[in-house]
Amino acid sequence: MKRINWVTAVFLFVTPVAALVWGGMHVFVHGVTLAEVSFFLIYLAVTAMSITAGYHRLFSHRAYEARPLVRALYLLFGAATFQDSALAWSADHRSHHQNIDSDGDPYNVRRGFLWAHMGWLLVTDHIRQRRANVPDLEADWLVAAQHRFYLPLATAMCFGVPLAVGWAVGDPWGFLLWGGLIRVVVGHHATFLVNSLAHTLGRRPYEPGFSARDSVVTAVLTFGEGYHNFHHRFASDYRNGVRRYQWDPTKWLIRALASVGLASNLRRIPRERIVAARLRCDQQRLLDRVRERSQDAVGAVQAQMAEIAAGVESAVARLGALEREFARMRASAAGVSRERLRHLRGDLRQARREFRGAWRSWSREVSRMLESFGPSPVPG
């Protein structure tokens, strides 16, 4: 029989009710000021990205390295979210990746949307499993210190900071309401959506075997964590939105830190591996559809797809090689002529055009063949 985690349960149910009641009364009596809303948005962004860039991509996945100052700030402002210590948070998250969609997954979405969203937090089962998979974090004195002093630190950062800032500008209770209570409730459910909505809404272009999905809607609501199928397929990449235009403010923050020397060793999955995953996923989806309609056509479809895929693989291999060569040359620019760099840039532009053309051909052919075999007769 599961035991209820009463402290967490009370906190998660009381805070939204208090935010609604107190917020309604405050707005009715005092209205809303621009300063309150501005502080709410700024503190929400700072604390939420301390979870996404800090707790998640740095501490849980080691997707990059950061200076002690940055790590300390992540731990301070991450505590303000009241989502537990980085040590405990990362232990749960690593268990999720190691056991996705199975009984060992703390927030297994196959147990239901509400369970994945917050139900798992209301029981004590996952707490007993903590710390077995985070020896690296236990050896990090900053992480260990935050874990040891988590409750007073979280209280001070979550409620003390907004109260102090509000006191300084003459609006302590308004800032405490918006920057403390309402922000923590919004921050909770934005993070919870990564466990629930990101495993429910969207496409699976990199790995069809996971419940994790890519969705721009979820990405906007979670500071870039919504490209979740990519993340579960390539968890060590510091990006979630792998394409330049994809909404992922967390990757932009990490890049900005790297540009001023506060972050380093940003891990990126090679483009060839990412494209190979897309090709395999498209092929599997197409072959599953073909088998539903005509078993005899499987061989012919496989041969046709293999030929087009070979063109994509050749184009992406050339592009990847040129990108790596260009990066090496820029790193040792003193020994490289401007003419050589100019020539290499031209080769890169041509390689990108060739790759885009090959990928468009692949996408058109996959779409055409899916349409030719009609909609799947299997529901869902």
- Of 304, 303, 287, nearest to 295 by C-alpha is 287
Is 377 inside any structural domain? Answer: no
240-266 pLDDT per residue, tens: 999 989 999 999 999 999 999 999 999
Task: Let me know whether 187 and 333 are in one domain.
Answer: no
Confidence of residue 159 (pLDDT cuts 50, 70, 90): very high
Task: Let me know whether 110 and 237 are in one domain.
Answer: yes
Q: Is 213 in contact with 207 (CB distance < 8 Å)?
A: no
Q: Is 107 in contact with 95 (CB distance < 8 Å)?
A: no
Task: Let me know whether 138 and 283 are in one domain.
Answer: no
Q: What is the C-alpha to C-alpha distance for residues 308 and 368, in angstroms, rounded to an integer?
A: 13
276-294 pLDDT per residue, tens: 999 999 988 888 877 776 6
Task: Let me know whether 241 and 296 are in one domain.
Answer: no
How much is the pLDDT for 324? 87
State the number of CA atoms in the 13 A half-sphere of 30 facing the CB.
Answer: 15
In the predicted structure, residue 332 carries a pLDDT above the cut 80: no
Confidence of residue 380 (pLDDT cuts 50, 70, 90): very low
Task: Let me know whether 78 and 217 are in one domain.
Answer: yes
Mean pLDDT score of the chain = 91
In the predicted structure, residue 379 carries a pLDDT above the cut 50: no
196-240 pLDDT per residue, tens: 999 999 999 999 999 999 999 999 999 999 999 999 999 999 999
The two counts, helices (H) then strands (E), for the chain are 18, 2
Q: In total, how many domains does the chain have?
A: 2
Is 44 inside any structural domain? Answer: yes
Q: Is 191 in contact with 107 (CB distance < 8 Å)?
A: no
Q: Is 303 exposed, middle or buried (0-12, 13-18, 19+ CB in 10 A)?
A: exposed
Domain that includes residue 363, residue range: 271-372
Task: Let me know whether 95 and 211 are in one domain.
Answer: yes
Structure tokens at 362: 């692949």
In the predicted structure, residue 151 carries a pLDDT above the cut 60: yes
Task: Let me know whether 77 and 130 are in one domain.
Answer: yes
Entry pTM: 0.91
291-316 pLDDT per residue, tens: 776 667 777 788 888 888 899 999 99
Task: Let me know whether 180 and 299 are in one domain.
Answer: no
